[in-house]
């Protein structure tokens, strides 16, 4: 099947792009093949979130052992049925990934380690990434296309304007890297922003309760213009304990959250939770 065929199938099914679902498709096979290699799909179980017209799904399925593809738009299911008809290693689900429980995903993946490879809809990219970074599922890596601004937030370093709670969490829970920038001209229809491919390789062990740690980090950034001490006071910690904890990591007040390295947040969390 050629890329032209996908366009024809979309037209034959009278498909109309739905802004609600952030639909922007890429049909360039060379590019999609590169994304599949970035995600190391070969001989793996792969979760794809937002199958779209199936162009990436098809490339993944060529080398993966099993593909579980989620697509929320029911109007794309007939299209995907045709585009993916030559493959017997794809499970296609017409549902919202954020409404699928960890237990259901574990069942779909046969409790095996899996990888996520996807062209994520912009409106759910950060929540989806954080959901899988924080989960106890056997996620090996997450290789996704997201809005460039989101990719830069995940990979930002301390003291930069884009450094935030998700920057810290992503670095504590994974090794993350921005692999390549993607021009908006690659997409149909063309969006108003550029994109990027970002990859997260999950770390095996992280100290403490991951969701509690993430919530703590978010509280540190809750009011960006306020000091770390003020944010921690708002989160319910005592002033004397905050002072002692920040001094122990050699960050005496009035320090701000954006001045701390990810490892310093982890140490602060460990001290204040005692």
pLDDT in tens, 102-146: 999 999 999 999 999 999 988 889 999 999 999 999 999 999 999
Contact 141, 201 (CB under 8 A): yes
| Per-residue model confidence (pLDDT) at position 7 | 66
* pLDDT tens digits, 209-241: 898 999 999 999 999 889 999 999 999 999 999
At residue 42, the 3 state secondary structure works out as coil
Phi first, then psi: give them for residue 135, nearest 5 degrees: -75, 165
Please choose, from the candidates 139, 145, 142, the residue with its C-alpha nearest in 3D space to the C-alpha of residue 55: 145
| Per-residue model confidence (pLDDT) at position 48 | 97
Burial of 254 (0-12, 13-18, 19+ CB in 10 A): exposed
State the Cα–Cα distance between residues 131 and 151, nearest whole angstrom.
16
| Per-residue model confidence (pLDDT) at position 5 | 79
Q: Which two tokens stand for residue 70?
A: 């989620």
**DSSP string spanning 188-209?**
BS--SS-EEEEEEEE-S--SS-
Q: What percent of the chain has pLDDT over 70?
A: 92
Alpha carbon of residue 49 to chain centroid: 10
* pLDDT tens digits, 241-255: 999 999 999 987 789
Q: Which two tokens stand for residue 259?
A: 């001045």
Q: Is the pLDDT of residue 21 over 50?
A: yes
| β-bridge pairing 90-93 and 66-70 | parallel
State the Cα–Cα distance between residues 221 and 226, nearest whole angstrom.
9
- Domains annotated for the chain, with CATH where assigned, are 3-202 (3.40.50.150), 210-272 (1.10.8.100)
pTM across the whole model: 0.90
**Which ranges of 62-201 would DSSP assign to H, the alpha helix?**
77-83, 102-108, 125-134, 148-155, 165-173
């Amino acid at each position: 099947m050629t890329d032209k065929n996908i366009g024809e199938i979309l037209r034959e099914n009278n498909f109309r792009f739905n802004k609600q679902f952030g639909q922007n498709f890429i049909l360039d096979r060379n590019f999609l093949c590169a994304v599949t290699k970035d995600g190391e799909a070969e001989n793996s179980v792969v979760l794809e979130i937002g199958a779209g017209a199936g162009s990436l799904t098809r490339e993944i399925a060529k080398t993966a052992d099993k593909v579980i593809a989620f697509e929320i738009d029911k109007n794309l299911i007939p299209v995907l049925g045709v585009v993916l008809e030559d493959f017997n290693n794809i499970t296609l689900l017409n549902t919202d990934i954020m409404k699928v429980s960890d237990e259901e995903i574990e069942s779909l993946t046969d409790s095996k380690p899996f990888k996520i490879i996807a062209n994520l809809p912009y409106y759910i990219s950060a929540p989806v990434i954080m959901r899988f970074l924080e989960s106890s599922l056997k996620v090996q890596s997450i290789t996704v296309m997201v809005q460039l601004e989101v990719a830069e937030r995940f990979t930002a370093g301390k003291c930069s304007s884009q450094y935030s709670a998700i920057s810290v969490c992503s670095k504590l829970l994974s090794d993350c890297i921005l692999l390549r920038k993607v021009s908006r001209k690659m997409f149909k229809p063309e969006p108003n922003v550029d994109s990027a491919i970002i990859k997260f390789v999950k770390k095996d062990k992280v100290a403490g309760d991951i969701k509690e740690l993430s919530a703590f980090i978010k509280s540190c950034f809750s009011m960006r213009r306020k000091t770390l001490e003020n944010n921690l006071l708002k989160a319910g910690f005592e002033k004397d304990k905050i002072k002692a904890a920040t001094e122990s990591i050699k960050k005496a007040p009035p320090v701000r959250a954006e001045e701390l390295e990810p490892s310093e947040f982890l140490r602060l969390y460990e001290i204040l939770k005692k």
